Structure formats: structure tokens, C-alpha cells
Amino acid sequence: MDDMNLQEFEARIARGEKIEPGDWMPDAYRKQLIRMISQHAHSEIIGMLPEGVWLGRAPTLRRKMVLLSKVQDEGGHGQYLYHAAETLGATREEMTDALLAGRAKYSSVFNYPTLTWADIGMIGWLVDGAAIQNQTMLAHCSYGPYSRAMVRICTEETFHKKQGMEQIIRYARGTPRQKQMAQDALNRWWWPALMMFGPHDTASPNSAQLIRWGVKTKTNDELRQDFINKMVPDFHAIGLTIPDPALRYDAASGDWLGGEINWDEFWRVVNGDGPCNAERLQIRRTAHTEGAWVREALNAYAARAEA
């Protein structure tokens, strides 16, 4: 019976149909999606922190309003994604507990500090840009609720990327000090942004299954290369230098080829030992404790409404 279900499931994916919450799905598909969507949700929530610390230090009212709106959007993305994971049987409590206990993963990039205002522009352009590269693919993924969440998220991420681009272009064309700030920010964020795409395909245990079942349609390395090819000419056009001495254009493939990512650093950060991992989790734990009264009030209201 399971074999027949599996055949039909794979045939549906091959026809480009979406798998919906009540549909039959292999247990491994459900587990992969819960893993990936919950990690993605945590990334959105933790991702509010590096930018959130600059809300009180934005240089103008306009910049502050834009940043506030972006950070709120990220919180909303986390909500859509937790809901998408709930449709697969994960509970919000389990996912939150895993994050707060340090058992859950979230994107490595958010464990780096934001040292200057230029980092805020660079996150918008580079980090949201990398996210769009990945998520435009996920908007076509085989699981309906995840793909629909991605469509909406990508629309908002496009605004995030544009506001970051606008800031960095302005700095790159500004005073020598502003240009240096933009360059320093690029130096800090280039490699962490490339790490967002995950390990090389040969070291990615999940990719084969995710590709087989239409969750991913491109590999980690393919997406990373597409991203590099897009970003290098943009940064060159505004006079910034990519912090990779090995970078060169390969006319045969049309690719910008670069040096190797520091994979020791990547795995250290993924496994909890990056510059800000402890701080990020501590802030989430404090927020969770301080928000206990809201959850209690909502539960009491729901219990009364049911009575």
C-alpha cells in the first residue's frame, strides 16, 4: 500500500501538483519539511535581532521607519512559517522549546554582529538578496503551504533588498568615509552571506531527498553560484571590491569563480559557537519569559470563550 502511495505521491510531484496538508506523504517528506520550515521560521525571528538593535540609532526618521517596517515584516514571516510547519503536525511549543534549548538550527548569518549603520544596508542588499535567491526557488516547491508562504515573503524581501541597495549605493557615492563604511560592511558580510546557501553539494546530506521530492529544485552550490554571478557586477559597478583575492571571471562558463569558504568557521557557527550565538539565544529566552503573561492571558481568554 505504501509503495502505491509513494508512486502516486511522486507522480503528483512530477506533474507539478502541490501536496496539501491532508494528503498522503512519506514520513521522511513530512520530517524534512518540518526540519526545514521550522529552521526557516527561527531564522526570521532571530534575524530580527541584528537589525533591531539599530532601530534606536537610525540616522534619520525615514530610515527608522523603513527599518522598523522591515523588522516587523521578518516577524510576520516567522509567523507564516510556523503556521506552515503546524500544518504538518509540529506544534508551536515544540518548535519554540527546541529553539530556546539550543537544539534547533537557524541561519548562521544572524550570528554575526552589526557594527555600523552600513551593516544594515548591507544586510538588506546581500543577506535579503541571498534569501530571495533561495526563496524564489522555494516558492515553486512541492508543499503548498510552504510555497504560498514563500510567494508572499519574497514580495516583501524584494522591498527589503531594494532599501538596502539604496543605502549602500548612497554610501558608495558619498564621502570617502561613507564609501569606506560600505566597503567594510561588504568585507564583513560577503562570506557569511555565501555561507547561507549551506555546505557544498557533496557535503549536503539532505539535498538529494529534497530534490527528489521537489522541495529544492536547485542545489546549494548552484544557488550560491547564481547569487555570486548576480552580485559581483553590481558591487563592481558602484566601485566596491569583493573581499576575495581569488575572484576571477571564467569566460568559458560565464561564472565568477572565487576562493573557498572557511568551512571550519561555518560549522562552528552552525553548531552554536559563532560570535553572537549565545547572545541571540539569551535575548530570545528573556523575551519568551517576559512574554509569559501574554500567553497566559490569551489561554485564559480562549478557555473562557470555550466555556
Asked if 103 is part of the footprint of ligand BYC (rule: CB under 6 A), the reply reads: no
Asked if 33 is part of the footprint of ligand BYC (rule: CB under 6 A), the reply reads: no
Binding range to ligand BYC, per CB under 6 A, among 12-20, 57-65, 84-92, 103-111: 103-111
Applying the rule CB under 6 A, the residues between 111 and 130 that interact with ligand BYC are 127-128
Asked if 158 is part of the footprint of ligand BYC (rule: CB under 6 A), the reply reads: no
Choose which of 145, 164, 199, 274 interacts with ligand BYC (CB under 6 A). Answer: 199
Please give the single-letter amino acid code of residue 185. Answer: A
Asked if 217 is part of the footprint of ligand BYC (rule: CB under 6 A), the reply reads: no
Asked if 149 is part of the footprint of ligand BYC (rule: CB under 6 A), the reply reads: no
Q: Of 282, 287, 276, nearest to 101 (Cα)?
A: 282
Helix, strand or coil, per DSSP, at residue 70: helix
Choose which of 33, 34, 38, 47 interacts with ligand BYC (CB under 6 A). Answer: 47
Choose which of 196, 228, 231, 240 interacts with ligand BYC (CB under 6 A). Answer: 196
Asked if 192 is part of the footprint of ligand BYC (rule: CB under 6 A), the reply reads: no
Q: Of 220, 295, 288, nearest to 46 (Cα)?
A: 288
Asked if 36 is part of the footprint of ligand BYC (rule: CB under 6 A), the reply reads: yes
Choose which of 13, 19, 40, 112 interacts with ligand BYC (CB under 6 A). Answer: 40
Give the C-alpha separation, 171 to 217, whole Å: 36
Asked if 240 is part of the footprint of ligand BYC (rule: CB under 6 A), the reply reads: no
Asked if 229 is part of the footprint of ligand BYC (rule: CB under 6 A), the reply reads: no
Asked if 39 is part of the footprint of ligand BYC (rule: CB under 6 A), the reply reads: yes
> How many Å separate Cα 262 from the centre of its chain?
20
Helix, strand or coil, per DSSP, at residue 7: helix
Choose which of 44, 86, 119, 244 interacts with ligand BYC (CB under 6 A). Answer: 44
Q: Which residues, 6+ apart, have CB-to-CB distance to 137 below 8 Å?
A: 216, 217, 218, 223
Least distance in angstroms from the C-beta of 139 to ligand BYC: 11
Q: Of 268, 247, 266, nearest to 257 (Cα)?
A: 247
Asked if 181 and 117 touch (Cβ cutoff 8 Å), the reply is yes
Least distance in angstroms from the C-beta of 245 to ligand BYC: 23
Phi, psi of 132 (to 5 degrees): -65, -40
Asked if 242 and 61 touch (Cβ cutoff 8 Å), the reply is no
Helix, strand or coil, per DSSP, at residue 212: helix
Residue 58 region by backbone torsions, left for phi larger than 0, else alpha for psi between -120 and 50, else beta:
beta
Residue ranges that bind ligand BYC, judged by CB under 6 A:
35-36, 39-40, 43-44, 47, 74, 105, 107-108, 127-128, 131, 134, 195-199, 204-207, 210, 220, 270
